[in-house]
Amino acid sequence: MAAQPEAAAQTAGLKHPKLEDKNTTATEVETNQGHDELPCLSNYAPWKEFFYEKVQQRCLSLQETKVKTICAQKAEEEKVKRREQCDWLSREWFSEENDSLDTRMYLLDKLLPTLIPGVEKLLAEVERRNVLAPDKEPTKFNPITFLGEYLMRHNPRYGISTEPGPYLIGMKMVTEKLKTEMPGTASERLARVKSEVKTKRQEREQVAKMKSHVKEMRKEALAIQFKEWTADVSGRILIALVQSALRSFPDVIASPPTDVRKAIYDRKLEIIDTLEKKVNVDEFTEYVHSYTEHFSNDMFQEILKHLCQCAHDFQEAVRRDMWRQMFTGLFLDCDYGKVGLLDRQKILAILVDFYDRSPVIATRGFCNPGQWPIIELQETDLVELRGGLDDQEVCEELGEKLVLSQTEISEGEILAYQPVADNRQHTYRMRTSVRGGLFEQMGMSEPETRGISKEENQAEESSDGDLLTCDLSGKYSSYGARTTEDWKHENTRFPDLGPIMAEIQNRCASCTRSAFDESCFNLPQFVQVMETFVGEDVPLPTVKSLVAFIKEEYKQTEEEKMEQLEKVHHISRLAQRKLLLEALFKTLDTNACGFLDLEEVDAVLSMFKEGMEKEALRKAKEHLCSRYPQLSRVGKLSPKAFQTFLELIASEFPGDEDEAIDNLVEFLTTSVKQSPMEYLQGSARRKWLHNIQQAAETSGASMEPVYKAVFEALSQDAEAHGDNKMISAYIALLEENQLSPARGQILLRYVACTADDAPYVLNQILYRDMKGVSFAAVEEGKPIHVPRVQLHGNIHFWNYDRPEEERKGSLLVLPLHDACWRVFGILGLDTLRDQCEETIFLTHEISFYQGVSHAFSKAYHHICMLQNVLQMATTALDWLYSRAPSIRTVITYLVEPGKDKPWDYALRKMITTDNTGQKEIHSSPVLLLRKENLLRDYLYRCIDSSEVIRTSVCGEHHIAVPLRDLSGQALGIFDINIGHHQKLPPPEHEDLQKMLKMAQAACSEILKMSSEETEPSYVLEAERMANWRHAGILFYQFMLQDLRECIQKLDAESFAEIKSYAEPPALAHNIVKAVLLLLHPDWKGSEKTENWSQCKLKLDDSLIQDIYFFDPTAASVQVQAELLLDCITGVPGAAVWQLGWAPAECLFHWVHTCLALAEISRSKPPPSSAPSAIKFPCASN
């Protein structure tokens, strides 16, 4: 390629002509012609571009001609080689002797190419003249002269060459080869480079050949593996399943290599958000190979095993999908009123009847409906858990040992019909007419059982491989419920509230998540409970018998139908009322400040019916202030308090309460008039405030997105509704002053600010004795606005570099309140960087900024609530893993609303705990979407139904347990992996149930504490002294309370057995000794604890009362852990369980719980609970 003309000219040292001024005369130009320099022309003269174009074209043409000439020469040389074969006698010159290499090179390169043709000509001339004939007279021919003349005529310097002969051609080849042997020469280096290039090329070709071979082998293996999937009639499978299998692969291997992470995570999977797209065997092979082509052989074998396991799981999912279709049809048939609900207790009673009257061979696959997970842990008493669990395990062990043949199963083994005593409401007996046929079907012999499996397999093979019930909650979300269109027809009298109601509904949480209800089932809950009851190894005819049995037994009277219908309508009316009042609140809150003034609302309502309902208003206001004590102090109505206020007013009116609320809504709506501009302003502000709350709900318990959303809301409003002010914003939180207590008990730490202020404000600490109005806002609990900071005199400027004359602008300090209107920090804004004259914050701006502070408070406490739940879950898992070593892993997920679709949801992977109890708290939690994890659909079914799920995934058994909020919806999940064990050992199973029950109780208490109506209830002294320990101590508090209840139920008879021993088991004596030493540390080494005859005298009612009222966290209690650990250290829970003495286990757990509480209460508090400091850019800056 030719060089650019400009570059070539510069290289040659030429100077481009420069254009002179336009006024240059011709005389001046002529004068310059005699000098070396040309006239100075402009760099942009037209001639220059034209000149470069011509020169470039000419250079390219010359280069092309040269290339063609070289190619023609090479072609001609090849022709000569093919036409004239070389004389291989010339090879004699080639030798590996290095001593004569220089001589041979000289001869072959300089002399022989000219001499050999001359000698050949000489010999030919001699032969022509017949000079060597013996009988011929001597001639004047002189060979030396002839040869000399030839050499002079063909001197190589003058380029006179002759046609090379075969010998010369061979000699030339030898010369070229010898040149490559000369060290240090260009030919040798070139030959070495060519050799290396050739070697590398051969290696690449060999590697490419091997890769091609490996590729073909892998594709063949993938094609074989494709056959293991359950395909449809056209031989295709869902691509979403393949994607889900690939996505889950890094999670199932111990430590995924870098290439696996790059293939799966770095190269983003294009998730197909549909169950319609399918692939055949060739497409499957190409798709999977594109992600696994760089895997090592071992890793490829691992993913093949994983795909095989996923294919097996999918086959099982297809089989269970058939069951779920049957259960869905059963629910629709039994829902006579079409309200979307079935009676829970009645269904459970029917399952108990079916279970108790089934033959032994049939019950082996069923889950006992009278125990967890079908019966909720909150509905069971852990004191009675032991006996039921023992009986269950005995039955399971007997069932596993029995090998029933056709002769062993007789009619006598089928349990006779007996009425079941059940104290639940709505328990119905089974009719004998139905029982006979159904249970005769189930009492089949072994050969018939084999026929069942064959029939079931045929049924599975006839399936089209589609999952028709993978999202029941989404498909039947509107079944039995009132739709939005129905509400629109009913709310025609409130047309102004319609758009706001639609806006609220579009941003509401997922409607597919069911709330747990102890009295009824909806469709996803019913299907899930039925699937849990059936288990995994029940044949299809048995499932059909179960469906027929429930369909026959489930009956409803007309009164029950009406009662259920009324319940559904009542729930719908409450939801409609809540939506209506929330829209009314947003309409009255014109500036989106987040609250309404109680006195203003009272003044407007006093005009209702021309003031005839003032007495009802007064009574409602008294009831409201008694329910919300802080209202009498702050006078602010939150949305929830506003709704409660209107409901209290309506309850004081005679007549229908719904009609009274509608009249109040209509009256308040007409009292507020908004212009279109005000409506658009309020709508935009509500959207920005919603973004703050959404950031908290989708942040993975992190404050960083919340801070970012707050500053974005402030900057957007300042730009749109604040005359494009340049604002600075910062957030400071209150902390206990442990750094300099003499400067005040509390301090303000600045944890977030706009980016330009970060060098001056971020991580700064404001003490009470410093200048500033921030502590005044904290103490008064009201906003403080300083219109001109330069005139105030009590403003603390963090930027000391700013000159005095530039310290001009406005300052606004807003207190941050929690749900009980207690101040926990401040939100500050100023306009010091704005150079405009008028930078005062207006009233509507201050109101909106109050709304921002209120939204931040809600978001902040939502994050705190999630962190408390995670801390409680961590404590619960620590307690569990010392008692349940059979559990392999526990993964804790949190439920988050979808970002693009608020009604959808996702799972955030927060904590992973392995079988050693080591926890990994994920700093960047992975987000799991449903469309990406079809093979882990059990997690989403657990959220949809809010029910416990037991399933098998990738050859390992899992128990998914929901962690519910106060409404009964799933807030999070414990995904418990028990490995290849179908069930945990009885002691570990019991401890798991205890942990889950206590964790749910502690979670509910945390959620209650974050509400505005509930004050925290403290049971232990440590909770009152240090609120920061409350979340960590809460799990053990509920465990202690439960153990207190268990121990209080003990009496003298409970201790009679152990007191009858002259020498009890050493473990029992040590447990009693540990209890006595915990209550009385001064008894160490005395006869009261060491001598059993003295020790058993302490087992009386007085000891039970001491245990019940004992507080291990009290300051007056000195717990000497080393004394107790000598008695119970290293004792597994199973050993205590095997004692067979029920009080021993309660006392053992009580001692451990007291030790844990004492350790937590004595631990050193952290220096600060404030989030890390963060800076964000402000859009208006």
Band (511; pLDDT cuts 50, 70, 90): low
Residue type present at position 140:
K
CA distance 242 to 281: 12
> Picking from 240-249, 859-868, 952-961, which range would have the lowest pLDDT averaged per residue?
240-249
| Of 657, 460, 475, 494, the residue nearest 584 (C-alpha) | 494
pLDDT band at 334; cut points 50, 70, 90:
very high
User: Quick check: helix, strand or coil at residue 351?
Assistant: helix
Q: How far apart (Å, rounded) are the C-alpha atoms in residues 979 and 975? A: 12
Token pair listed for 316:
């099982």
Q: What would the mean pLDDT of 1108-1114 be, rounded to a whole number?
A: 89
| Rounded CA separation 172/90 (Å) | 9
The predicted structure's pLDDT at residue 467: 63
Rounded Cα–Cα distance for residues 424 and 489 (Å): 41
Q: Specify whether the CB–CB gap between 617 and 605 falls below 8 A.
A: yes
Residue 890 has pLDDT above 90, yes or no: yes
Range among 151-160, 212-221, 289-298 rated most confident: 212-221
Q: Are 172 and 164 in contact (CB under 8 A)?
A: yes
Write down the pLDDT at residue 710. 95
Cβ 132 vs Cβ 126: under 8 Å: yes
Nearby residues of 905 by Cβ (< 8 Å), 6 or more positions away: 509, 510, 512, 513, 895, 896, 897, 898, 943
Task: Find out whether the peptide bond into 803 is cis, omega within 30 degrees of 0.
Answer: no
Cβ pair 1168, 750 in contact under 8 A:
no
Q: Is 540:320 a contact under the CB 8 Å cutoff?
A: no
CB atoms within 10 A of CB 195: 11
Q: Which of 1067, 1045, 1064, 1044 lies closest to 1055 in space, CA to CA?
A: 1064
Residue 743 burial (C-beta neighbours within 10 Å; 0-12, 13-18, 19+):
middle
CA end-to-end span of the chain, whole Å? 51
Provide the token pair at 332: 């629709």
Q: What is the pLDDT of residue 436?
A: 47
* CA quadruple 702, 704, 707, 713: dihedral, nearest 10: -100
At 936, the pLDDT band (50, 70, 90 cuts) reads confident
Strands 811-817 and 823-830, sheet pairing:
antiparallel
pLDDT range class, residue 394, cuts 50, 70, 90: very low
Backbone dihedral region for residue 723 (phi beyond 0: left; psi -120 to 50: alpha; all else: beta): left
Please, what sign has the CA dihedral across residues 510, 514, 517, 523? positive
Q: How many CB atoms lie within 10 A of CB 814?
A: 24
Region 505-518: mean pLDDT is 76
The least confident of 106-110, 454-458, 591-595 is 454-458
820 versus 26: the higher-pLDDT residue is: 820
Say whether 813 sits in a helix, a strand or coil. strand
Question: pLDDT tens, 700-729?
Answer: 999 999 999 999 999 999 999 988 889 999
Higher pLDDT, 406 or 585: 585
| Averaged pLDDT, 244-254 | 81
Short-list 586, 510, 1176, CA closest to 903: 510
Q: Count the residues in the chain.
A: 1181
Tokens of 74: 């090479």
For residue 1171, pLDDT over 60 is answered with no
DSSP classification of residue 108: I
Cα torsion angle, 337, 338, 340, 343, sign: positive
- CA 679 to centroid of chain Cα atoms: 37
| Range 1008-1025 average pLDDT | 74
Of 548 and 122, more confident:
548
For residues 993 and 900, the model is more confident at 993
Please name the amino acid found at residue 240: A
Q: Specify whether the CB–CB gap between 310 and 226 falls below 8 A.
A: no
Tell me the Cα Rg of the chain. 45
Say if residue 956 is exposed, middle or buried (CB neighbours under 10 Å; 0-12, 13-18, 19+).
Answer: middle
Segment 510-530 mean pLDDT:
86
In 3D space, the residue among 774, 825, 824, 827 whose CA is nearest the CA of residue 797 turns out to be 774
* 8 A C-beta contact, residue 1148 and residue 1136: yes
pLDDT of 787 over the 60 cut: yes
Residue type, 938: Y
What integer is the mean pLDDT of 919-933? 86
In this prediction, residue 156 has a pLDDT band, given cuts at 50, 70 and 90, of: confident
- The percent of residues above 90 in pLDDT, for the chain, comes to 27
CA dist 647 and 668 (Å) reads 14
Residue 449: pLDDT over 50:
no
Token digits for 675? 């212009």
Q: Are 391 and 338 in contact (CB under 8 A)?
A: no
pLDDT value of position 353: 92
Report the half-sphere exposure of 879 (CA within 13 A, side-chain side): 32
Angle between helices 986-1009 and 843-881 (to 10 degrees): 160
Q: How far apart are CA 275 and CA 283, in angstroms?
A: 16
Over range 80-84, report the average pLDDT.
Answer: 65
- 718's tokens: 């300042």
Distance CA 323, CA 317 (A): 10
Q: What is the pLDDT of residue 896?
A: 92
Find out whether 846 and 812 touch, Cβ atoms under 8 Å. Answer: yes
Give the chain's mean pLDDT.
Answer: 79
Q: Rounded distance, CA 421 to CA 659, Å?
A: 46
What's the whole-number mean pLDDT along residues 896-920? 83
CA distance 138 to 130: 10
Other beta carbons less than 10 A from residue 287's beta carbon: 16
Write down the pLDDT at residue 772: 87
Question: Are the C-beta atoms of 1150 and 1111 separated by less than 8 Å?
Answer: no
| Integer Cα distance of 383 and 240 in angstroms | 47
Neighbours of 288 (CB within 10 A): 22
Between 1051 and 713, the more confident residue is: 713
| DSSP structure string for 864-891 | HHHHHHHHHHHHHHHHHHTT-TT--EEE
Confidence bin at 811 (pLDDT 50/70/90) = very high
CB atoms within 10 A of CB 1162: 12
Cβ distance 739 to 765 under 8 Å?
Answer: yes
The CA-based dihedral angle spanning residues 425, 429, 430, 431, taken in that order and rounded to the nearest 10 degrees:
-130
* DSSP states along 187-235: HHHHHHHHHHHHHHHHHHHHHHHHHHHHHHHHHHHHHHHHTTS---TTS
* 569-610 pLDDT, tens digit each: 888 888 888 999 999 998 888 888 888 999 989 888 888 887
605 touches 649 (CB < 8 A): yes
Dist. CA 147–CA 815, nearest whole Å: 116
Question: Tell me, what's the pLDDT at 192?
Answer: 83
pLDDT higher than threshold 60 for residue 385? no
Which tokens go with 5? 């003309």
The answer on pLDDT for 247 being more than 70 is yes
Q: Could you tell me the sign of the dihedral formed by the alpha carbons of 788, 790, 791, 794, in that order?
A: positive
Question: Which pLDDT does position 24 carry in this prediction?
Answer: 41
**What are the pLDDT digits (tens) for 161-178?**
666 667 777 777 777 777
The two structure tokens encoding residue 918:
């080591």
**CA 682 to CA 669: how far, in whole Å?**
16
Of 197-211, 999-1013, 1054-1068, 1121-1135, the poorest mean pLDDT is in 1121-1135
Residue 960 has phi, psi (to 5 degrees) of: -100, 120
* Torsion-angle region of 472 (φ positive above 0: left; ψ -120 to 50: alpha; else: beta): alpha
| Tokens describing residue 762 | 């971020």
Give the pTM. 0.79
Question: Which is more confidently placed, 1176 or 502?
Answer: 502
DSSP 411: G
- pLDDT tens string 341-371: 999 999 999 999 999 888 877 777 888 888 8
290, 259, 270: which is closest to 932 by C-alpha?
Answer: 270
Extract the tokens encoding 534. 């059936």
Rounded distance between C-alpha atoms, residue 562 and residue 419, angstroms:
29
The H or E element containing residue 977 is strand 970-977
